[in-house]
Amino acid sequence: MEKETTIYDIAKGLGVSPATVSRALNNSPVVNKETRQKVFDTATEMGYRSNMFASNLRRKRTHTLGVIVPRLNSHFMSSVIAGMEKVANEAGYNLLISQSLETAKKEAANVMAMFNSRVDGLLVSLAYNTEDISHFSPFIKKGIPLLFFDRVAEHPKCTSIVIDNMQAAHKATSHLVAQGCTNIVHITGNLKRNVYADRLKGYKYALIDNELPFDDSFIISNDLSEEAGMEAAGEILKMNPLPDGVFVANDACAVGCMKILKQAGISIPKDIAIVGFNNDPVSRVIEPNLTTVNNPGHKMGEVAVRNLIIHLDGFSDIVAMNTITLNSELIIRESSLRKG
Amino acid sequence: MEKETTIYDIAKGLGVSPATVSRALNNSPVVNKETRQKVFDTATEMGYRSNMFASNLRRKRTHTLGVIVPRLNSHFMSSVIAGMEKVANEAGYNLLISQSLETAKKEAANVMAMFNSRVDGLLVSLAYNTEDISHFSPFIKKGIPLLFFDRVAEHPKCTSIVIDNMQAAHKATSHLVAQGCTNIVHITGNLKRNVYADRLKGYKYALIDNELPFDDSFIISNDLSEEAGMEAAGEILKMNPLPDGVFVANDACAVGCMKILKQAGISIPKDIAIVGFNNDPVSRVIEPNLTTVNNPGHKMGEVAVRNLIIHLDGFSDIVAMNTITLNSELIIRESSLRKG
DNA sequence: GTGAAAGCGCTAACAT
DNA sequence: ATGTTAGCGCTTTCAC
């Protein structure tokens, strides 16, 4: 391994001081244009690369953002990450990504790892079964910005990026009502997570606002996997009378559900109309195409990182803006269209 | 922001030297058992966390692996990343992830960023239009391990992790032949990428081995997006005679193709049998379910990182093992089943 | 088994 | 506009 070039080598080669080289390399406005050009030229020539550790050690900033997500391999999450990476990369930040695999335990371990890696800020979407957020206290105590997205937690010091899940669910359910459904089942996940609790609320209030009865026995709660959707379909088929609409809190589960219903000879949307959530690619492939709520993952990732960086660079009082809500819209497809 | 505890604080509090604290914290065998215990105790008590920059600055290792992928938000890629993250996390390594967005230019920029971040190793899947791999030379020159996966490049100093794309494509095509197809179109991507070149070869040799003619006019080349698949279907519909089989180099494109063919009243698999590639979730949703090749992304990610780490820890001569081939299998579903 | 001290490469006062 | 200097927190010889 050949020796690394340092700013001292450049300084020596150019007959200037290391400080000037450092300033030039960091585009400090005070340094002479010509000097800067010379520094850049010899830096390239000598194969110089900055040593981020030395720099970080001095500056006490890492230019690295931590990201903790439940799982990486869902369409929604990978879109979020893609959006985050884009903005972070453009702003010269790195992303340190880890998955909690939906368990609070691994989430806590990841938080500590992020803490020890001294990330400048942390972006989190909570695991399925996280009960409280005390494991984030090292960040909060130290004043390191902590930002939640999608599956968020309430905390006075933290910003959240979300869509209006309640409103979206309200629209989705009202749409089913408008299509003539009066007997609507809702399939949801762990109600500790805001996204599912809010979607349930939206469903409930939509029924009430449309003067339809709300009944707990019409709520099916599971892990929202495709398999869970197939099982839920089994339950639905046993109901008497058969429901005429199903609002599912994600698309994967909706798809599983539709598969079984179709197998059982149910006509969608004629017998049962279905609405999903997320606008996953499968929603445009399943037949009939699935009505769903577009969940802007890529944008959510962009917004989350942009806000965090603005705050880190000192341009925003993040406390003043505790929740950022992105727009989502209902995408109506054949799975719910019974009229017009 | 309260002051960070350093090893000096621990040393002072304990009446020993910082050197001893450092040794204890790093489990050096020379340090006294009791001293070590005391050090650990006060470290915890004082809320000490190691400063990786100072440590890295001295040790010249980052325990960070760079990953460059074309896009993050495909099922295959996010599975790869999930597998990588799992193994890296367990081994105490961090992952620095960036996307080339399928352009050679951004890929080169990412490579430099990774180089400047001093990753201990680099894992790459090439962009769609990368022509040569000269932009990786900083890594090769410095002897920093460079590992390609899926979309790989030949290089004597680099290991590649792949599936046997040719064999998989051969099986896929032979399967179509076995189902009675004699007129098989192949839709593929940029032939500079090994994955597409090899799949084309497998298709070609399968035809030859089955004594069917190989004809360039049966090759459609595009970017393999769903939209491209829809356009390709248009071309197919213009062919006379109509082909009776289509082997597509990925599932997204196959799905787009199927949508249009079905709209045009073509019966799948009776009129045209279809086989895709990757075993994307959509393949189990499209109707009829798509026959496809399972591409073990999660495993590929695990294997790639595990190999890299073993090499970094000095237990393997990575040069001795230039290509690692994972198993893939043909998953036969209704889209190609015309017999039995 | 432990300590003293040098230095990894960089940045930011402060001085000129 | 540029130079001097003092660390950032850690590891690692070299002594003892």
With 80 as the cut, is the pLDDT of residue A1 above it?
Answer: no
Query: From the CA of B31, how many Å to the C1' of C3?
Result: 13
* pLDDT, mean of residues A65-92: 92
* pLDDT, mean of residues B268-283: 97
In this prediction, what percent of chain B has a pLDDT beyond 90? 69
Q: What is the rounded distance in angstroms from the CA atom of residue B15 to the CA atom of residue B4?
A: 19
What DSSP element (H or E) covers B161? strand B159-163
Chain A CB contacts of B115 under 8 Å are 49
Chain B CB contacts of A53 under 8 Å are 52-54, 56-57, 62, 118
Is the CB of residue A18 inside 7 Å of nucleic acid strand D? yes
* pLDDT, mean of residues B15-34: 89
How big is chain B, counted in residues? 340
What's the pLDDT tens digit per position in B86-114?
999 888 788 889 999 999 999 999 998 88
Chain A 32-91, CB < 7 Å to strand C = 48, 50-51, 54-55, 57-59
Q: Quick one: A34 exposed, middle or buried, by C-beta within 10 A (0-12, 13-18, 19+)?
A: exposed
Q: Read off the amino acid at residue A174.
A: S
In this prediction, what percent of chain A has a pLDDT beyond 90? 70
Q: Do B57 and A62 touch (CB under 8 A)?
A: no
Chain A CB contacts of B75 under 8 Å are 73, 75
How big is chain A, counted in residues? 340
With 60 as the cut, is the pLDDT of residue B248 above it?
Answer: yes
Instruction: Identify the structural domains of chain A with CATH numbers, from first to last.
Output: 7-50 (1.10.260.40), 62-164+297-328 (3.40.50.2300), 165-295 (3.40.50.2300)
* pLDDT, mean of residues B121-141: 93
* pLDDT mean across residues, chain B: 92
For residue B208, what pLDDT is reported? 97
For residue B316, what pLDDT is reported? 58
Q: Do A62 and B78 touch (CB under 8 A)?
A: no
Burial B248-286 (b: 16+ CB within 10 A, else e): bbbbbbbbbbbbbbbeeebebbeebbbbbbbbbbbbbbb
Q: What is the rounded distance in angstroms from the CA atom of residue A66 to the CA atom of residue A124?
A: 8
With 90 as the cut, is the pLDDT of residue A187 above it?
Answer: yes
With 60 as the cut, is the pLDDT of residue A326 above it?
Answer: yes
What's the pLDDT tens digit per position in A105-163?
999 999 988 887 889 999 999 999 999 999 999 888 888 899 999 999 999 889 999 99
Residue of A nearest to B97 (CA): A95
Q: Do A86 and B99 touch (CB under 8 A)?
A: yes
Q: Do B282 and A287 touch (CB under 8 A)?
A: no
Chain A CB contacts of B49 under 8 Å are 115-116, 118
For residue B191, what pLDDT is reported? 96
Is the CB of residue B22 inside 7 Å of nucleic acid strand D? yes
Lowest-confidence segment of A69-78, A108-117, A218-227, A251-260 by average pLDDT: A108-117
Lowest-confidence segment of A201-215, B58-72, B121-135 by average pLDDT: B58-72
Is the CB of residue B46 inside 7 Å of nucleic acid strand D? no
Is the CB of residue B54 inside 7 Å of nucleic acid strand D? yes
Q: What is the rounded distance in angstroms from the CA atom of residue A181 to the CA atom of residue A241?
A: 13
Q: What is the pTM of this model?
A: 0.88
Q: Do A51 and B74 touch (CB under 8 A)?
A: no
Query: What is the token pair recorded at A138?
Result: 């090292």
Q: What is the CA radius of gyration of chain A?
A: 26
Confidence tier at A318 by pLDDT (50, 70, 90): very low
Of residues B71, B118, B122, the one with CA closest to residue A62: B118
Nearest amino-acid residue to D3, taking CA and C1': A17
Chain A CB contacts of B86 under 8 Å are 99
- The secondary structure of B168-207 as a DSSP string is HHHHHHHHHHHTT--SEEEEE--TTSHHHHHHHHHHHHHH
From A154's Cα to the closest Cα of chain B, the distance in A is 23
Positive/negative CA dihedral, B206, B210, B211, B215 = negative
Confidence tier at A325 by pLDDT (50, 70, 90): very high
Size of the A and B interface in Cβ pairs below 8 Å: 113
With 60 as the cut, is the pLDDT of residue B320 above it?
Answer: no
With 60 as the cut, is the pLDDT of residue B318 above it?
Answer: no
Is the CB of residue A22 inside 7 Å of nucleic acid strand C? yes
With 80 as the cut, is the pLDDT of residue B339 above it?
Answer: no
Of residues B29, B152, B48, B81, the one with CA closest to residue A67: B81
